[in-house]
A = this chain, B = another copy of it.
Amino acid sequence: MAKKVTISDIAKMAGVSKSTVSRYLNNGYISEKKSAIISQLIRDTGFKSNFFASRLKTKYSRLIGIVLPRIDSYAVGQMLAGITQILNEQSYQAIIITSDLDHEKEIRAIHQFNEQGVDAIIVISIGITEKQIEIVHQYSTPIVFAGQYDKRLSCIKFNDKKAGSILGEYLRQKGFKTCVYLGVPDSDKAVGIERRNGFIKAFKNKVILIHTDFSFEQAYAQGDKIMSYTPSVVVGATDNIALGFLKYLHQNKINVPQKIALAGFGGYSMGEVSSPSLTSIFFNFKALGRKIAFFTFKRLSGETFSSYFEDDFKLLIREST
State the A residues within 8 Å of B (CB): 1-2, 48-53, 55-56, 61, 63, 70-74, 76-78, 80-81, 84-85, 88, 93-98, 114-117, 138-141, 216, 243-244, 246-247, 250, 269-270, 272-275, 286
Contact = CB atoms under 8 A, between A and B. Distances in A.
B84 A96 contact: yes
A115 B49 contact: yes
A244 B275 CA distance: 12
Given A84-B96, A93-B97, A243 B273 contact: yes
A76 B72 CA distance: 8
B88 A81 contact: no
Contacts of A94: 95-96
Contact of A81 (B53, B71, B116, B246): B71
Nearest to A76: B77
A77 B84 contact: no
A53 B51 CA distance: 11
Contacts of A114: 48
B115 A98 contact: no
19 contacts: A1-B139, A48-B115, A49-B115, A52-B55, A52-B61, A63-B95, A73-B77, A74-B74, A76-B77, A77-B77, A81-B98, A88-B98, A93-B116, A94-B96, A95-B96, A216-B272, A216-B273, A244-B273, A250-B275
Nearest to A271: B273
Contacts of A55: 52
Contacts of A141: 2
Contacts of A2: 139-141
Nearest to A278: B273
Contacts of A48: 114-115
A246 B88 CA distance: 37
Nearest to A244: B273
A152 B243 CA distance: 45
A71 B84 contact: yes
A76 B80 CA distance: 12
A117 B51 contact: yes
